[in-house]
Amino acid sequence: MEGVEKGPVTEPELPPGRGELSAALTGYLRGTGPLPDDAAIADAAPFGDDLQLALYLCYELHYRGFAGVDAALEWDPELLRVRAALEQPFLAALRAEATRHEHADDALDELLVEPADGRGVTRFLRDEGELWQLREYVAQRSVYHLKEADPHAWVLPRLWGRAKAGMAAVEFDEFGAGRAERVHARLFADLMADLDLDPTYGRYLHESGAEALAVVNLMSLFGLHRALRGALVGHFAAVETTSSPGSRRLADAMRRTGAGPAAEHFYREHVEADAVHEQVVRREVVAGLLEEEPWLDRDIAFGVDATSCLEDRLADRLLGAWRDGESSLRASV
Amino acid sequence: MPDNPVERSRRIIARREGPLLVEGPVEVVLEDGTTVSSERFCVALCTCRRSRIFPWCDTSHRRHARAACPDADR
């Protein structure tokens, strides 16, 4: 496996809009039209395709931007005002729907119990997933994994002491510990190639449903706001806690379907790595942050709960479609 | 205390439940004489003996609930 990027890194293409908000956003980014008005934002479904894509477009300017879009728009005051207006209903819906715990430890302890008779996406893929379903899963997860650990880096200046040291150590590991060929986002790109998917950053944005975009928007929302640093840490802890057993099931799925060595390797690497990360995040990052800022306990719990809520929504979308023998994507890959 | 890991004691974090956390890099010699190594900043060594990737932890020590909420699984 080659460990270096092939060719120049290009910015992703702007996707087509999915409704009034996202269509207006793409027009504004191209410089051809006005931003959506507040009434249209207030009318949109918080977890729907239109609002989620509009929010994704705003956030992407902080990562790699889009081809043909002025990089300076990242700090355009009008665009930031609209972004805040889009974030408000998303965050309000999450607080209302997702919140189940008041304490970080309670929220995380619940994730440590493996359901013996559990159903769910990774169990489905391990036991009966077909190659086309694995490809659909990976295509939609690529929107997340090709940004893996990126928005979590934004929390580093907002932490100190044990929390900062622990977070930086795990991030270093996620970013390949100094080796480009081991960057987790790179390993995921190799996995995509095994599944005959295009590993270009942002390539499957258009095909991904609102549920897959919401998972990414959640970490961008938490990562970009210092006020939500507790939620970002909770989100990261939830991901690292659930990743190891889920990755084992996905590695088994990749082996059973003969997906390829890089496809299996990505998930095998995460079985071991995330068993370590879980411990470090729990003992150093979460415990360290609670020591420094005990009032963030409820926010950390919210970050865990919000992550579970949106992952469950994504699981419902995937399994619902597959049980009906249908594609879970908006367009085929 | 010097920062050079060679000159200071290696820290191992032990708890009754869960893996031993050892500052990396490490080499682990297994009973059949083979050696496995990890360059990770920290490794989690299995103590429950249930890991399928022994000596590394794979979270197999976790409790299993009989009838948990199916949504909790991903």
Which residue among A117, A172, A242 places its CB closest to the CB of B74?
A242
Identify the domain containing residue B45 by its residue range: 1-60
> Is residue B55 in a domain?
yes
Residue B32 has pLDDT above 50, yes or no: yes
Handedness of CA A39, A45, A51, A56 (dihedral sign): positive
Residues of B within 8 A of A264 (CB-CB) are none
Lowest mean pLDDT among A135-139, A256-260, B64-68: B64-68
Facing residue for A275 by CB, picked from B59, B66, B72: B59
From chain A, the residues in CB contact with B18 under 8 A are 279
Q: Which residue of B has its CA nearest to A242?
A: B74
Interface of B with A (CB under 8 A): 13, 18-19, 21, 39-44, 52-53, 56-59, 62-74
Pairing of strands B42-45, B20-23: antiparallel
pLDDT band at B17; cut points 50, 70, 90: confident
For A221-236, what is each residue's pLDDT tens digit?
999 999 999 999 999 9
Residue-level pLDDT at A115: 78
Q: Number of structural domains, chain B?
A: 1
Rounded percentage of chain A residues whose pLDDT exceeds 70: 97
Interface probe, candidates B59, B60, B63, B64, chain A, greatest A C-beta count within 10 A: B59
Looking at chain A, which residue has its C-alpha nearest residue B39?
A177
Q: Is B70–A116 a contact, with Cβ atoms under 8 angstroms apart?
A: no
Note whether residue B39 is domain-resident. yes
The mean pLDDT of A294-314, rounded to a whole number, is 97
CA distance A78 to chain B (A): 38
A125 to chain B: closest CA residue: B74
pLDDT at A158: 98
Query: Inter-chain contact A114–B21, Cβ cutoff 8 Å?
Result: no
pLDDT at A195 over 90: yes
How far is Cα A220 from Cα A60, in angstroms, rounded to an integer? 9
- Closest-CA residue of A relative to B24 is A276
Other CB atoms within 10 Å distance of the CB of residue A56: 24
- Asked if A273's CB is within 8 angstroms of B64's CB, the reply is no
Question: How confident is the prediction for chain B on average, in pLDDT?
Answer: 85
Distance from CA of A150 to the nearest CA of B (A): 19
Outline where DSSP puts E strands in B1-74: 12-13, 20-23, 26-29, 35-38, 42-45, 64-65
Q: Does B73 map to a domain?
A: no
In a domain, B22, yes or no: yes
**Residue ranges of domains in chain A, CATH in brackets:** 20-97 (no CATH), 102-323 (1.20.910.10)
Which helix or strand (DSSP H or E) is residue A264 part of?
Answer: helix A261-280
Residue of B45, B21, B64, B72 lying closest to A282 (CA atoms): B21
The token pair that represents A293 in the structure block: 């800022």
- Inter-chain CB pairs, A–B, below 8 Å: 101
The mean pLDDT of A91-114, rounded to a whole number, is: 96
Bigger pLDDT: A171 vs A9: A171
Look at residue A3 in the predicted model and tell me its pLDDT: 43
Pick the residue from chain B with its C-alpha nearest to A108: B72
Q: Compute the average pLDDT of residues A156-176.
A: 97
Q: Quick check: A272 and B56 CB within 8 A?
A: yes
Q: What is the pLDDT of residues A33-83, one digit of tens each?
A: 999 999 999 999 999 999 999 999 999 999 999 999 999 999 999 999 999
Instruction: Pick the most confident of A9-13, A317-321, B5-9.
Output: A317-321
Residue B29 resides in a domain: yes
Nearest one of A133, A171, A173 to A153, comparing CA atoms = A171
Give residue B16's pLDDT.
87
Contact B40 A283 (CB under 8 A): no
Question: If you average pLDDT over every residue of chain A, what do you get?
Answer: 95
Tell me the chain B residues in contact with residue A244 when contact means C-beta distances shorter than 8 Å.
58-59
Return the pLDDT at B3: 61
- For residue B59, the distance in angstroms to the closest alpha carbon of chain A comes to 6
CB A197 within 8 A of CB A138: yes
Q: Considering only CA atoms, which of A291, A300, A288 is closest in space to residue A166?
A: A288
What is the DSSP track for A107-176?
HHHHHTSEETT--SHHHHHHHH--HHHHHHHHHHHHHHHTTTTHHHHTTGGG--HHHHHHHHHHHHHHTT
Sort A269 into a burial class: Cβ within 10 Å, 0-12 / 13-18 / 19+: middle
- Check whether B71 has a pLDDT greater than 60: no
Q: Is the pLDDT of residue A93 over 80?
A: yes
**Which residue is closest to B23 within chain A, CA to CA?**
A276
